[in-house]
Amino acid sequence: MMWPGLRSGAKGEGLSAAQVAVKVAEAERRERETRQHLDSPASERGPYDGDPEDLAEQWVARHAEWRRVAALMDGQGWLIYSPERDVQGSAWARERDAQREGALARRAAWQRERQDARDELKAKVWLSGEVSRRLRVIAARTGLEPEQVLAQLVDRVRVDDDGALTVDAFTPR
């Protein structure tokens, strides 16, 4: 079972069997409490209580993981927990780290896209028939869409000191 949010290696390193037993008991108590909280009416929950189902799932997973660590220590005869010797726990930790890094990268990409979308300007431009025909001819010759030609045109606009707009001659690409 993979458990979100708990790193027994980081939190359990150097713990004795008795200390791990305390962690098992605490996780069991918290699992029970979060299940009871989950069963309580939503009106009794505070405005800052997170997702009670998510919290309950986390404590179920943490309880299971601390039980696994206790059983591993007992089965291997370890006096203290060492994440380096816990092959399964270490593999899960690496997998969690990879998932977390992927999630952070996806979130950063999503935030960049949102910022780019806020910076974009979408405009409808009504052109006269003659200007529209010329734009379509230019676009057809370059293999671009008319909107792409206009975007390239706007990229090259300069504003003079007197506020006049100018564009040097260019070939759309």
Determine the Cα–Cα distance for residues 28 and 162; give it in Å rounded to an integer. 74
Question: Is the same domain home to 102 and 140?
Answer: no
Determine the Cα–Cα distance for residues 154 and 150; give it in Å rounded to an integer. 6
Q: Is the pLDDT of residue 119 over 90?
A: no
* Res. 56 pLDDT band, cuts 50 70 90: confident
Residue 146 lies in a domain: yes
Determine the Cα–Cα distance for residues 93 and 73; give it in Å rounded to an integer. 18
Number of domains in the chain: 2
Q: What is the pLDDT of residue 42?
A: 64
* Res. 151 pLDDT band, cuts 50 70 90: very high
Question: Is the same domain home to 45 and 75?
Answer: yes
Question: Is the same domain home to 159 and 135?
Answer: yes
Tell me which residue range forms the domain holding 87: 8-119
